[in-house]
Amino acid sequence: MTSHVDQAVAARIAAARAKREQQRQQRAELAEARTAGLAARHRTKLQRQTEDTPPTPGGTMNPASVLAANRVRTSEFNPRSYSHISSLAELHKAYLLEEFERTGDYAPGLPVASHTNTLIIRVGDEIGGFCAVDPHHFALELIYLAPPYRGRGIAAALIQQMRATCPQRMKAKLPFTPQGQALVTRTGLQPLQPAAASVQAAAAQLAEIHRVVRRDCPHKKGNPAKPCRRCWPKALRRSTEYAIRQYLAEQRDRAA
């Protein structure tokens, strides 16, 4: 026969076990809800970041109509044109800074390189973006539109137009930003691992970023592995200038 003390102890133990089990179930439910919430937020973010407008009725999109309605024209990047050089530099800097604010890290993709062809995108009378493609691998390297020209379907229309004239299935080089992933998914491009030339060019640009950070950043002792929100943006801007200077030097050497 158990005493009142034993019964009280047993009751407390049972209550403690029940409480722990209840807490365990609550934690599991919260974790499940958090996972579902993060997934939903990610899907919403991708949807908001996409540069495309919904397809026209019937599920098709007429790229020519979209481009004509927005007065979009493209021209090959001219390394002898000051307006092309300065506009491309400002656009690529804006791209890097936007992605740094979004992710806190370096974003992939070069504005110009020896292995790419770069197109300047005009919207009306203004230079509103650029598009770099790798003609050797039929792959999109990077496409960027300034904020005022997004949400009109311009990027998707340009890609669809390029796909229509591409002799092979058009691809897009990895890695993607969230915005780039949304556009690639929307347009049906095939992901492609970057070739050696792309990897080397990207490595050179990243090395330049790290060099500037080590030299100029006093806040995190010049450690590039810990992006400083005060000094990394300056390094990103310098990296754009470095990439364009390298390309222009290569073009001069070829012409010599």
Under 8 Å between Cβ of 240 and 92: yes
Q: Name the most confidently modeled range: 92-101, 177-186, 206-215.
A: 92-101
pLDDT value for 15 = 82
CB atoms closer than 10 angstroms to residue 218:
9
CA distance 252 to 242: 15
Tokens 């796909």 belong to which residue?
163
Average pLDDT value over all residues in the chain? 84
Of the two residues 127 and 221, the one the predictor is more confident about is 127
Q: Residues 194-199: what's their mean pLDDT? A: 82
pLDDT bracket for residue 199 (50, 70, 90): confident
pLDDT value for 39 = 57
pLDDT value for 117 = 94
Nearest to 162, CA basis, from 182, 146, 143: 143
Under 8 Å between Cβ of 72 and 212: no
pLDDT value for 134 = 93
CA distance 224 to 233: 12
Question: Percent of the chain having pLDDT more than 90?
Answer: 43
pLDDT tens for each residue of 229-246: 888 888 899 999 999 999
Half-sphere exposure of 248 (CA within 13 A, CB side): 17
CA dihedral 96, 152, 118, 71 (to 10 degrees): -140
pLDDT tens for each residue of 130-159: 999 999 999 999 999 999 999 999 999 999
Q: Residues 200-206: what's their mean pLDDT? A: 84
pLDDT tens for each residue of 32-90: 766 666 556 655 555 554 444 444 433 456 899 999 999 999 999 999 999 999 999 99
> Which residues have a Cβ under 8 Å from the Cβ of 55 and sit 6 or more positions away?
61
Please classify residue 148 by burial: count the beta carbons closer than 10 Å to its beta carbon, then call 0-12 exposed, 13-18 middle and 19+ buried: exposed
Asked which of 26-35, 54-63, 90-99 is least confident by mean pLDDT, the reply is: 54-63
Answer positive or negative: Cα dihedral of 245, 144, 187, 68.
Answer: negative
Domains of the chain by range and CATH?
A: 63-255 (3.40.630)
Q: Which stretch of DSSP H or E encloses residue 131?
A: strand 126-134
